[in-house]
A and B are shown apart, each in its own frame.
Chain A
Amino acid sequence: MDYKATLINKEGHFGAFGGRYVPEVLVPIMDDLRDAFFMATEDEHFIEELKKLHRTYTGRPTPLYHCENLSEKLGGAQIFMKNEGLLHTGAHKINHCLGQALIAKRMGKKRVIAETGAGQHGLATATVCAKFGLDCTVYMGAKDYARQRPNVFWMEQLGATVIPVTDGDQTLRDAINAALRDLISHPEETHYLLGTVCGPNPYPAMNTYFQKVIGEEVRTQIEDQTGGPPDYLIACVGGGSNALGLFYDFLDDEHIKMIGVEAGGKGVSDHEHAARFQGGSVGVAEGFKSYFLQNGDGQLSSTHSISAGLDYAGVGPQIAYLQESKRVKFTYAIDRDVMSAYQLLAQTEGVFAALESSHAVAEVIKLAPGLKKDQSIVFNCSGRGDKDLFIVTKELGDEGFKTFLAEELAEVTKDSGTA
């Protein structure tokens, strides 16, 4: 089976999934973007420029690190971490942001819009826009806007306009809808820099193309370190961009097993989770056909996860295809296990993984002890965890941090009182 060829194709259909379910006004916009993207992939200058910027600006290649302490502690397989958290802006998101910014420039677009949940994709978008001199607007659900103030501040510092979206649940889905509406209203001058392998064609194929560098690097790096290919690949799955980034290059190596980890939230038996393959069904929304958490009428559900980056009712269409064809196995991690995984990785290896990536770590902890010592697991540490400071301190009930916040607040209030 030729998975690689199937997952990056011009029509944007992956088995029954994907497609371009957009209002007619967006059809020419998506078609132009598709043509510009596929043309760029055949242009040596484009490929060179992308490579050069990865080397000099984003910080590629990222290290593949042998987690010897964690491997020893778990007593099974050798565990390797692909550390995308060391990239500029702290996560793999910069890979497709840089790629799409170069495409936007090639197309002569002056204005870039993006959606963001926790703010990481928005931050990466604002970063590349600052670098390339593009006007940047980021849509963010009003709830996310309120609870992710640090990222809003950084985006604004980078020159972006951040717009809180007050529709619906006021989270990521509403931000995507708002961004699509903006694009519908200003289709000619705007590039919509969509932040995962979701959305209408060509976004899933295009973002996979820009993310596949992760797995390509892993292939050489693991060969250098162990003399052979890995046995298992593990990544968390929100939309699916970091998972496809790690998996893609290995998809046609049949003996390599792959596991995608969804957000189990408070548990998948109730509705407070974001695990689409646990109770989701096939649907069409936000321009693509895939698995969605939805009710019997097809109304999309509200989701919950400790990590904002996985808190989304839909999953990328290529991911749905890999699930249906059983090439990738899907499981989930619940919030509580994610927190333990986050702490264990920090204490054994000195690495704060993002809460998203800690879902992958949670699966590593389950899987590794049952494997042999000469087997290897590579997991994608898709982002670093310092962005989660406020969530983690709250989750762990850290008294010192609470006092710190209270004192900061008193200080700020006092200053503004006397001003």
Chain B
Amino acid sequence: MKKLNSQLDKIQSSGKPGFMMHMVAGYPDLEQSEKIATQILDSGADLLEVQIPFSDPVADGPVIARANEVALKNGVTVGTSLLMIQRIVASTEKPIVIMTYFNIIQNYGVEKFCERAVEIGVQGLIVPDYPFDEEKDNSLIKYAQANKLALIQVIASTSRADRIQEIIKHASGFIYCMARTGTTGRKTDINIQTINYLESVRAGCDLPMAVGFGLSERSQVQALKKYAQIMVVGSALINEYADKPLDEGLKRIKKFMEGLIGN
């Protein structure tokens, strides 16, 4: 978690928004996705969120769901994903977090997964279908804490005030706020409700805040940067390189991120 926390401090003190870019391990295949990771990191990402694909990714919209499907069809496994993540971690100073669904972790073994993640230098986990209420039978929060692995909690705009407080209690690293109701990948309009929502989370939360789900443009970043420190971009980035030859995809990633991050 150390690397993550110092990066978060750096972002906070810079006064500029940080960017966490999302990608799916093994999409379109392992070799290409590793090059994509490098390109994303070289193009100014502050954090990289690598998703280990799952057959039933309910929290993801069509773009990311399809990337999961293609990756699995092309034979990526949890084992090869972790090895790839290990290589990415070794190649960069920036913090890497794993996003995956709980079934992947529970089949690997919750304790073993947390230990392995730390061993390869991963800084945190995002598990979108693991609400803290299910901790009793599964101990993911417990083993993440024991291994000093951040378990990044998600808050939704539909979350109620008392539950937001509960979620924050279980959070480490940063808080991930969904900017609107919905699965990933559709453009979010930044309106007064979104801002009120982020402000209400901020009021009860000392951790840095990330905002995501539907981010694709610089104008959205400008509107949100006062309210959250980290911008999360997923589907829009995949759209840049999906179904393109690798060379073209890498160029497009660079251009897209330059446009998003600005100077």
Q: Does A300 contact B (CB under 8 A)?
A: yes
Q: Does A59 contact B (CB under 8 A)?
A: no
Q: Does A167 contact B (CB under 8 A)?
A: yes
Q: Does B107 contact A (CB under 8 A)?
A: yes
Q: Which of B48-77 contact A (CB under 8 A)?
A: 54-59, 61-62, 65-66, 69, 72, 77
Name the residue on A nearest B128 (C-beta). Answer: A23
Contact A294 B129, beta carbon cutoff 8 Å? no
Chain B residues lying within 8 Å of A184, measured Cβ to Cβ, are: 58-59, 181-183
User: Known interface pairs A21-B129, A21-B131, A184-B59. Does A297 touch B154 (Cβ–Cβ under 8 Å)?
Assistant: no
Name the residue on B nearest A297 (C-beta). Answer: B78
Chain A residues lying within 8 Å of B117, measured Cβ to Cβ, are: none
Q: Does A168 contact B (CB under 8 A)?
A: yes
Alpha-carbon distance between A283 and B54 when the two chains are bound, in angstroms: 12
Contact of B106 among A28, A29, A173, A284 (CB under 8 A): A284
Alpha-carbon distance between A397 and B153 when the two chains are bound, in angstroms: 56
Chain A residues lying within 8 Å of B154, measured Cβ to Cβ, are: 23-24
Contact B55 A25, beta carbon cutoff 8 Å? no
Alpha-carbon distance between A294 and B186 when the two chains are bound, in angstroms: 30
Contact of A25 among B77, B103, B133, B181 (CB under 8 A): B181
Q: Does A27 contact B (CB under 8 A)?
A: yes
**How far in angstroms is the closest Cβ of chain A from B126?**
11
Chain B residues lying within 8 Å of A299, measured Cβ to Cβ, are: 54-55, 72
Name the residue on A nearest B81 (C-beta). Answer: A297
Interface size on B, residues (CB 8 A): 43
Contact of A167 among B62, B77, B130, B163 (CB under 8 A): B62
Contact A21 B69, beta carbon cutoff 8 Å? no
Contact B106 A283, beta carbon cutoff 8 Å? yes
Q: Mark B88-125, 1 if CB is under 8 A from A, else 0.
A: 00000000000001111011100000000000000000
Chain A residues lying within 8 Å of B190, measured Cβ to Cβ, are: none
User: Known interface pairs A25-B178, A284-B103, A299-B54. Does A167 touch B129 (Cβ–Cβ under 8 Å)?
Assistant: no
Chain B residues lying within 8 Å of A181, measured Cβ to Cβ, are: 58, 61, 183
Contact of B163 among A27, A177, A294, A300 (CB under 8 A): A27
- How many A-B contacts if CB must be within 8 Å? 119
Chain B residues lying within 8 Å of A297, measured Cβ to Cβ, are: 77-79, 104, 107-108
Contact B58 A283, beta carbon cutoff 8 Å? no
Report which residue of A186, A187, A284, A300 has the largest number of chain B beta carbons within 10 angstroms of its beta carbon: A284
Contact A298 B69, beta carbon cutoff 8 Å? no
Contact A167 B134, beta carbon cutoff 8 Å? no
Name the residue on A nearest B62 (C-beta). Answer: A167
Contact A25 B104, beta carbon cutoff 8 Å? no
Alpha-carbon distance between A19 and B103 when the two chains are bound, in angstroms: 13
Contact A21 B158, beta carbon cutoff 8 Å? no
Contact A28 B160, beta carbon cutoff 8 Å? yes
Q: Does B167 contact A (CB under 8 A)?
A: yes
User: Known interface pairs A29-B158, A167-B66, A168-B69. Does A298 touch B106 (Cβ–Cβ under 8 Å)?
Assistant: yes
Contact A24 B137, beta carbon cutoff 8 Å? no
Chain A residues lying within 8 Å of B159, measured Cβ to Cβ, are: 24-25, 27-28
Chain A residues lying within 8 Å of B69, measured Cβ to Cβ, are: 167-168
Name the residue on B nearest A174 (C-beta). Answer: B56
Chain B positions near chain A (C-beta within 8 angstroms): 54-59, 61-62, 65-66, 69, 72, 77-79, 101-104, 106-108, 128-131, 133-134, 137, 154-160, 163, 167, 178, 181-183, 186
Seed contacts A23-B128, A285-B101, A289-B137; 18 additional CB < 8 Å A-B pairs: A22-B58, A24-B156, A24-B159, A25-B182, A28-B160, A184-B181, A184-B182, A185-B182, A186-B181, A187-B158, A187-B181, A188-B158, A285-B103, A292-B103, A297-B77, A297-B78, A298-B106, A299-B54
